[in-house]
């Protein structure tokens, strides 16, 4: 195991690169914007190019050449065991790309370990964060969509092809709104940042959030962050929207519990950072939505420890495992 490692988290909006030591401590970081999600080049080429530039930035920030260090790269979507992004609804330009191969071509002297971004975050939270000591847990990252990482028996559950823990695409209401994945009523339409925005616009259109409508000029332009800010300031109707989002969040957690029976749920991602107001309603509704919720031991629902760095740190740690 190398003393140092590099991790990269490719998100829908930014590419974050970190240098960590073997304890996972952050030594340097660099970030760049994720290239616009059009299909300019062959799938994955633009993204991999940006990863290479982020690594150059990281080397400059660290003041040393990093070439050849263990390198892990987390990407959002269905990542095969071999590192092909079979489907990336939040990274369309790389759908179908053999990320392992492209990174090998673009980054001479490196050999990348490619993983799902939320799997990487789960690995980091297990090793260093909010899931330490719990070998049965599910990581739920709430951003624009919902990502997942599942640990059972202390190991990441990846499934037959590597596509496990695509939990944002559990269907929770078959007649629900369309999802970018092409189907209807996926969990991430309700309990993610997109869900806060959608349910917030519905509340605004129903006349329940007049201050936000005044702020944006029309209910259609109300944003998710408007709702979380108003809720943080004590607006009762905004808090009611977050309560509804919390109910949907709890519904999905209950479905995960029916399949996995974890000892703990670790909630991360930008939405949790934006509003810890989601956790109390999710906890409150979970008991009623769990099978035998009043008879069984409760399942902990906690916030992630490592915040926005979890995915990148986890990718670095995963690269040291190979």
Interacting residues toward a copy of itself by CB under 8 A = 78, 86-87, 89, 95-96, 134, 136, 148, 150, 152-153, 155, 157-167, 169-175, 181, 183, 251, 254-263, 288-289, 291-292, 295-297, 299
Rank residues 53 and 157 by Cβ distance to a copy of itself and give the closer one.
Answer: 157
Shortest distance, position 157 Cβ to a copy of itself, whole Å: 6
Q: Taking a C-beta distance cutoff of 8 angstroms, is the pair 200, 214 a contact?
A: no
Q: Taking a C-beta distance cutoff of 8 angstroms, is the pair 279, 286 a contact?
A: no
Token output for 254: 């209950």
Which is nearest to 10 in space by CA: 129, 137, 112, 156? Answer: 112
Rank residues 109 and 177 by Cβ distance to a copy of itself and give the closer one.
Answer: 177
Q: Is 11 exposed, middle or buried (0-12, 13-18, 19+ CB in 10 A)?
A: buried
Shortest distance, position 59 Cβ to a copy of itself, whole Å: 35
Rank residues 40 and 296 by Cβ distance to a copy of itself and give the closer one.
Answer: 296
Rank residues 11 and 88 by Cβ distance to a copy of itself and give the closer one.
Answer: 88
Shortest distance, position 231 Cβ to a copy of itself, whole Å: 23
Rank residues 185 and 307 by Cβ distance to a copy of itself and give the closer one.
Answer: 185
Shortest distance, position 249 Cβ to a copy of itself, whole Å: 13
> How many Å apart are CA 62 and CA 56, to the nearest integer?
10
Rank residues 207 and 288 by Cβ distance to a copy of itself and give the closer one.
Answer: 288
Shortest distance, position 233 Cβ to a copy of itself, whole Å: 30
* Helix spans in 148-235 (H): 188-191, 193-205, 210-216, 224-232
In Å, how far from its chain's centre is CA 12?
Answer: 10
Shortest distance, position 113 Cβ to a copy of itself, whole Å: 19
Q: Which residues of 269-292 are buried (b: 16+ CB within 10 A; e: fewer)?
A: bbbbebbebbbebbbebbeebbee
Shortest distance, position 4 Cβ to a copy of itself, whole Å: 30
List Cα–Cα distances, 120 to 79, 82, 170, 301, in angstroms: 12, 15, 20, 19
DSSP result, 226-276 = HHHHHHHTT-HHHHHHHHHHHHHHHHHHHHHHHHH--SEEEEESHHHHH-G
End-to-end C-alpha distance for the chain, whole angstroms: 9
Rank residues 63 and 174 by Cβ distance to a copy of itself and give the closer one.
Answer: 174
Rank residues 110 and 190 by Cβ distance to a copy of itself and give the closer one.
Answer: 190
Q: Say whether 24 sits in a helix, a strand or coil.
A: coil
Shortest distance, position 289 Cβ to a copy of itself, whole Å: 7
């Amino acid at each position: 195991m190398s003393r140092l490692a590099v991790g990269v988290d490719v998100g829908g909006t930014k590419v974050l690169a970190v240098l960590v030591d073997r304890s996972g401590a952050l030594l340097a970081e660099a970030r760049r914007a994720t290239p616009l999600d059009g299909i300019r080049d062959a799938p994955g080429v633009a993204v991999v190019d940006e990863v290479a530039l982020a690594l150059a930035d990281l080397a400059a920030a660290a003041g040393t050449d990093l070439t050849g260090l263990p390198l892990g790269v987390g990407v959002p979507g269905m990542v095969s065991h071999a590192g092909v992004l079979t489907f990336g609804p939040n990274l369309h330009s790389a759908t179908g790309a053999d990320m392992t191969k492209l990174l090998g071509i673009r980054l001479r002297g490196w050999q990348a370990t490619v993983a799902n971004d939320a799997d990487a975050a789960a690995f980091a939270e297990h090793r260093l964060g909010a899931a330490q000591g719990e070998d049965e847990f599910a990581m739920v990252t709430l951003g624009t969509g919902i990502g997942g990482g599942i640990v059972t028996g202390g190991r990441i559950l990846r499934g037959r092809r590597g596509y496990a823990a695509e939990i944002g695409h559990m269907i929770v209401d078959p007649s629900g709104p369309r999802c970018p994945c092409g189907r209807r009523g996926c969990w991430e339409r309700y309990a993610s940042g997109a869900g806060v925005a959608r349910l917030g616009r519905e509340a605004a259109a129903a006349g329940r959030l007049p201050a936000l409508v005044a702020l944006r000029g029309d209910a259609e332009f109300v944003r998710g962050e408007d709702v979380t800010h108003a809720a943080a300031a004590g607006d009762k109707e905004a808090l009611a929207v977050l309560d509804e989002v919390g109910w949907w969040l709890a519904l999905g957690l209950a479905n995960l519990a029916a399949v996995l029976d974890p000892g703990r749920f670790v909630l991360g991602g930008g939405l949790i950072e934006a509003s810890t107001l989601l956790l109390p309603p999710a906890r409150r509704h979970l008991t009623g939505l769990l099978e035998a919720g009043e008879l069984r031991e409760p399942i902990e629902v906690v916030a992630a420890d490592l915040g926005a760095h979890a995915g990148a740190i986890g990718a670095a740690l995963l690269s040291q495992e190979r």
